[in-house]
Structure 1
Amino acid sequence: MSATPSAQLNPFPIIQVGLSFWSSKTLLAATKLGLFTHLSEKPLTAEQIKQKLGLNQKGLYVRDFLDALYSMGFLERTGSGESVLYQNTPDTAAFLDKNQPAYLGGFLEMANDREYKFWGDLEEGLKTGNPQNEIKYTGKESFEAIYDNPISLAQFTEAMSGIQKLSFMAFANSFDFSGYKTLVDAGGSAGLLSALVAQQHPHMHCTTFDLPQLEPFAKATAETYGVADRVTVLNGDFFNEPFPTADVVTMGNILHSFDLEKKKMLLQKAYEALPANGCLVIIEMILDNERRENTFGLLMSLNMLIESDGGFNYTQNEFRQWVSEAGFTSVKFIPLGGPVSAAVAYK
């Protein structure tokens, strides 16, 4: 018979993580319902929020919903009783109000609509090694399924731009572009990285290179940032075509989506597209070599199990080895905030 657990042991961290989908779904629901956008105008009572969001007219659990968000630090609250007013925190006002340029709620909306249900099959994914997304139900791998549906494509593209914007801005602001004139962003999606680099560095001409379905999004981004004269939108398939040549080749959250064979193929293509003294920049959640500190990056690697056929995140040392095999001579890593960094490989 096992001994009774010591009174000094604390089971609540286990319980808290085990039930963290409660808090996750609460935040995802609030974002999907547009709560933080409605609160951008002025503080509201629970009754006013219920009316604006079209919640249950009985009003049951609305205050629980709002006070849970308050207790997690996503809302501020003043007053007492029925007159309590709820408002955004500085963070939710900046990042979860759809009217703000730093809005990243699109990624949370996609997580709510797609990934939340797919993660329910994580055990099956771990046992089989197979993706647990649309391919199970449609026979199409995730990108194919997303790109075939205009609504899904628009949501996915907005989500990727939203969650990557701060990292891309940090890269554009911190990387020394003085020795370069051209950049090609392979798998450029909506063209955000190219637009931010061109905006920050007027001497740079950038090319965003991706499938034809992304062209209208990329052109709209270049127009929005006022850099359409220095951002070229080029259609192509980086698996079946050479990368366009440039002084700098970038890939933002691309490499982790693929298995090792495809990773190495893309690195080799990047090497071949660069001149002597050019460089490759990978912007992703690259793991520390001990695989201990970047928890979000490790969870993102699990997300690649859910979303891809063989994709995974990797350590700094693994990246060094792969680019060395491709012919690159040196590597440095630039922290970009949170779990994201830029891995720079020089030719």
Structure 2
Amino acid sequence: MTTTDDRTTAAAVDPGPLIKLTIADCAAKVLHSAVTLGVFGALAEGPADEEQIVAATGLHPRMAADFLDALAGLGLLERTGDRYSNAPLAEAYLVPGTSTYLGGFVELTNETLYGTWGRLTEALTTGAPQHLDPDKGGFVGDKHKDPEKMKRFFAGLDAYSDRMGAELAGRIDWSRHSSFVDLGGARGNLASVLVREHPHLKAGVFDLERTRPLFTEHVGRLGHTDRIEFTGGDFFADDIPRADVIVLGHILHGFDTDRRRELLRRVHAAVNPGGQILVYDRMIDDERSNAERLLSSLHMRLVSPDGSEYRIGDLNDWLAEAGFTAPAAQPLLGTHTLVTATR
């Protein structure tokens, strides 16, 4: 039964934030569709009107005006009179073919997030991971069996690792080191960024053997075949290649605490004395108050049986247990945390 006091309280609280939260996925889907249809690439040559954009992208005239104006309202396009142009954010990161292009990452999230998050309620009541394809399992489904699917998947990851590699290249004093290994480095994109920025480094990538053909193709195309060595293996069964620095990006969040501790011990044995470990993930703040990081943790629980994000303080404890010293944390790209420690 609704009372006068209930109505008075409701009237005093603006429901706007609740409504925006309820339809937040609509804005994301507008972005995803704009990338898929090539809107930002079509505007890379200069402003265009609605009719020109329709012709270039295949937009239906009935949908075009609201769609383009919504993109403008979201800060991705700018409208002057009847002509549209890319806003600075889109021009910087959403024009295909540029070195800073993040459209691949946008497409990757579109492909991987919606199927799993649509089953969140089931996961919350059963505790079971909700795979992208329940019949095939795993975060990437059966993509490893289809080279073209796997290439598209890695292209999305590369869009992000380009920026991550550039950040790591500038954040770490690489002059103190002569070698590094990117653990779970996929087809070597982050490693390629680092050796490009620091030519004196000898680089390695350690990942599953099935990734080798994709690594060979990608690193060969980038011209770094003689700079980066691939080692195929299992983190927990095979020796991790020795190096001055070992990088763990988006690795620890895939395992439970016991496996994280075990892996850090194995990494400690592989880091040369005086070397460093670099760990980056969307780590949870120690007060567990950052909603975006907690949503990332929920995502890992959705797509894996044991994964989740973890607190910075917990990682510091695990690093100390493994034998590392002087852990230090710093924000990275506004979405991640980088923790470094010394052997």
Contact 1:29–1:112, Cα closer than 8 Å, also in 2: no
- Aligned pairs for 1:48-63 (under 5 A) are 48-56=52-60, 59-63=61-65
After TM superposition, give the deviation of residue 194 of structure 1 in Å.
Answer: 1.4
Structure 2 SS opposite 1:281: strand
Structure 2 gaps of 5+ residues are: none
After TM superposition, give the deviation of residue 183 of structure 1 in Å.
Answer: 0.5
Match of 1:154 in 2: 151
Match of 2:14 in 1: 10
Q: Measure, in 2, the Cα distance between the counterparts of 1:167 and 1:26.
A: 26
Structure 2 SS opposite 1:279: strand
Structure 2 SS opposite 1:60: helix
Contact 1:259–1:311, Cα closer than 8 Å, also in 2: yes
After TM superposition, give the deviation of residue 149 of structure 1 in Å.
Answer: 2.3
Q: Measure, in 2, the Cα distance between the counterparts of 1:171 and 1:189.
A: 17
After TM superposition, give the deviation of residue 334 of structure 1 in Å.
Answer: 2.9
After TM superposition, give the deviation of residue 226 of structure 1 in Å.
Answer: 4.3
Structure 2 SS opposite 1:4: helix
After TM superposition, give the deviation of residue 135 of structure 1 in Å.
Answer: 4.8
Match of 1:78 in 2: 80
Contact 2:133–2:141, Cα closer than 8 Å, also in 1: no
Change (3 A) 1:4 1:221: same
Q: Measure, in 1, the Cα distance between the counterparts of 2:202 and 2:220.
A: 15
Match of 1:88 in 2: 86
Match of 2:318 in 1: 322
Q: Measure, in 1, the Cα distance between the counterparts of 2:298 and 2:148.
A: 26
Match of 1:212 in 2: 209
Residues 232-261 of structure 1 deviation map (CA, whole Å, 9 limit, x = unaligned): 122222232121111111111111122222
- Aligned pairs for 1:254-333 (under 5 A) are 254-293=251-290, 295-333=291-329
Q: Measure, in 2, the Cα distance between the counterparts of 1:221 and 1:94.
A: 24
Q: 60-69 vs 271-280, which deviates more?
A: 271-280
After TM superposition, give the deviation of residue 198 of structure 1 in Å.
Answer: 1.3
- Aligned pairs for 1:173-252 (under 5 A) are 173-223=170-220, 225-252=222-249
Change (3 A) 1:168 1:298: farther
The one-letter code matched in structure 2 to 1:125 is A
The one-letter code matched in structure 1 to 2:66 is D
After TM superposition, give the deviation of residue 61 of structure 1 in Å.
Answer: 2.1
Residues 275-326 of structure 1 deviation map (CA, whole Å, 9 limit, x = unaligned): 2222211122222211213x32222111112221121111110101111222
Task: Choose from 126, 134, 137 the match for 1:136.
Answer: 134
Asked if 1:35 is matched to 2:33, the reply is: no
TM-score of the superposition, structure 2-length normalised? 0.93
TM-score of the superposition, structure 1-length normalised? 0.92
Q: Measure, in 1, the Cα distance between the counterparts of 2:109 and 2:221.
A: 26
Q: Measure, in 1, the Cα distance between the counterparts of 2:74 and 2:8.
A: 30
Change (3 A) 1:5 1:152: farther
After TM superposition, give the deviation of residue 67 of structure 1 in Å.
Answer: 0.3
Q: 254-263 vs 222-231, which deviates more?
A: 222-231
Contact 1:199–1:226, Cα closer than 8 Å, also in 2: no
Percent of counterpart pairs with the same letter?
Answer: 33
What count of residue pairs does the alignment treat as equivalent? Answer: 339
The one-letter code matched in structure 2 to 1:263 is R
Residues 214-235 of structure 1 deviation map (CA, whole Å, 9 limit, x = unaligned): 3344344444554433221222
Match of 1:346 in 2: 342
Q: 128-137 vs 301-310, which deviates more?
A: 128-137
